[in-house]
Amino acid sequence: MSRRPEDLVYSVDERPPASVAVPFTLQFVVQHVALSLMIPIIIVAAVGGPPAMTAALLSSLLIAEGVGTALQALRGRGIGCGYLMPNACDESFLVATLHAAQAGGLALAFGMTAVAGLLQMGLSRVVRELRVLFPPEVMGMVITVLGFSLIPFGIQSFLGMTGGIGAAGVVPAGVGVAVLTLAVLVVSPRFGEKYEANAIITALAVGLGASYLLGLYPADALEQVVAAPLLQAPDLSYFFWSFDLRLLPIFFIAVIATTIQTITNVTIGQRVNDAAWVRPDMENIRDGVFTMGLTNVFAGVIGSPGVSTASSELGISVASRITSRYIGFLFGGALVVCAFVPKATTAFSLVPIYVIGAVVVYICAFLIMVGITTMLSRMMDTRKVLVIGLSLVFGLSVQFVPYVFEDVPPIFEPVFASSITLATITAIVLNLALRLGIRQEESIVIEPGAAASREIEAFLRRKGEEWGAREEVIVRAAAAATEVAEGTMGSLTDGPVEVSASFDELNLDLAVGYTGQALAFPASRPTEEEMLEDDLGFAAFAWYMAGQYADRAWSAEEGGRCRAFLHFDH
């Protein structure tokens, strides 16, 4: 059963008041529009289109992102994951879109985006069966890489070097604004929940004000805003559709990459909204992936590049401790409105990069810590350390040495365009390969006179590390098995006791077998008189205590062989 985390200001199903929801949505919109502007600029530059094409593409992209965000906030009937899950165009779809646009213009890019959406909707039907590929330690690693993947952009923006180190020097005033913005983000939560909930919008206000005072806006910024029309419908003259099955592989890889991203981000949503979280809810993830596919079909139809769930905006939610899905409806609606208000998109596009950089750096810290705590929620052995370590090495190589992947075949570019995708694929392959030879059922024999407690604890801890079990479950299981074994030996049998354990992601089952006198688990605690007067009093008390540790306990006898069964939900 889920449990609301105490540190959240507004959790997923709580509706924040307008005084909180509106400023919080505004901070989403400011950062989102400023970053989304780069996508149509890159795509239009690749096909040599006019500025009017850039404006039209930005409008359709904002509409697709807004509708997708609102759909994800829905819950029930297979549509939406029910979390605040902002949408944005990611690297994988951008790479696929550029290939299609250069091969056959925007019409081919839009047509193949719609086809990719249909593929993603179909892929969502088998997501639940892929649960074995995404154990918590793998999901934690991917979330950690998500945080690391934002560092280059965050630091470059923080220093004002998004155009490249050689493009411009560091502007001290700009870095000062970034430091001031980050300081407000760090200090605000110390003054209570009200300030924590509005930390990012407060920091944005301070950063934008300082930028204005220090002259960091372009000299013609006001003229650009004034010249932009207040209301304007998107220009549909650029939007047609065509298809080429030869591009299907590259779009399918983009679908795989964005599906992985969606699985990761929905897992973050589950993790931060449930203090009792133990594993990804794959049915909920299935709905999120299906909705992502539906959104991409819509994106292709209206002339937008494909989209996915956005890690940076999700990070704002995590860092602000506001995860209400109702913000998703408000934010989605705001993006759609912005698509028809060029004056607003022009104003947001002029936000100094230093301010955005400070927010992204702040988000990185929270995503990395969420990932680390998710990884450490399971017991570790050498196999898992290798899976996590090697996946981090290969995934982060995209950030550290991107030039080594410049000559990969075009079909594989979406894989190597994103550290998240490469790290996840590496983790899946290693996890499957290193699972070979691991038995999901093992047993040990405890001989009379042996230290049952020590042997059982060592056995279950070793197997728990191999299986990736939760440590608290293994501790309870060891305590329960020890009680049964010690209560049985010398009282119910003079021979050895066999302890067997079997595990899957949802269950841990123990069976303690022996040849001797049968005993049922007591429904109530034996009294002191019963323990003193009955020869089986000590065994009954030990079995009673074991039943308190287990989620279910029962016993059976067949052919003189007795067995005590202990079940633990995992």
CA-closest candidate to residue 254, choices 81, 109, 70, 379: 109
Instruction: Kindly list the distances between the CA atom of residue 257 and the CA atoms of 268, 367, 408, 437, in Å, as whole numbers in the listed order.
Output: 17, 19, 17, 29
Q: 564 and 512 in contact (C-beta within 8 Å)?
A: yes
CA distance 328 to 334: 10
Type of residue at 224: Q
For residue 164, what pLDDT is reported?
A: 46
CA-closest candidate to residue 38, choices 16, 20, 24, 54: 54
CA distance 134 to 137: 8
Q: 280 and 267 in contact (C-beta within 8 Å)?
A: yes
Instruction: Kindly list the distances between the CA atom of residue 297 and the CA atoms of 32, 121, 242, 266, 386, in Å, as whole numbers in the listed order.
Output: 22, 9, 14, 20, 38
Number of H helices, E strands in the chain: 23, 7
Tokens of 248: 């299907």
CA-closest candidate to residue 92, choices 416, 334, 476: 416
Residue 160 burial (10 A CB sphere; 0-12, 13-18, 19+): buried
Angle between helices 248-273 and 311-320 (to 10 degrees): 0
pTM over 0.85: no
Half-sphere exposure of 77 (CA within 13 A, CB side): 4
Phi, psi of 185 (to 5 degrees): -60, -40
Helices (H), 125-247: 136-149, 151-158, 172-187, 193-197, 199-213, 221-227
CA-closest candidate to residue 73, choices 421, 320, 334, 300: 334
3-state secondary structure at position 2: coil
Report the 3 state secondary structure along 76-124. CCCCCCCCCCCEECCHHHHHHHHHHHHHHHHHHHHHHHHHHHHHHHHHH
Dmax over CA atoms of the chain, in Å, equals 96
What are the mean pLDDT values of the chain's consecutive 10-residue runs (570 residues total)?
Answer: 83 90 85 75 77 82 95 90 91 82 88 95 85 77 83 86 57 91 86 67 85 85 81 76 85 85 89 83 92 96 91 78 93 92 77 83 84 81 87 90 86 78 87 74 90 92 85 92 91 91 85 92 85 80 93 90 91
CA-closest candidate to residue 315, choices 364, 371, 369: 364
Q: 546 and 480 in contact (C-beta within 8 Å)?
A: yes
For residue 165, what pLDDT is reported?
A: 42
CA distance 329 to 104: 35
* Strand (E) or helix (H) holding 348: helix 342-349
For residue 532, what pLDDT is reported?
A: 73
CA distance 276 to 371: 16
Instruction: Kindly list the distances between the CA atom of residue 411 and the CA atoms of 304, 407, 417, 427, in Å, as whole numbers in the listed order.
Output: 21, 11, 11, 21
For residue 166, what pLDDT is reported?
A: 43
Q: Is the dihedral of CA 317, 321, 322, 324 positive or negative?
A: positive
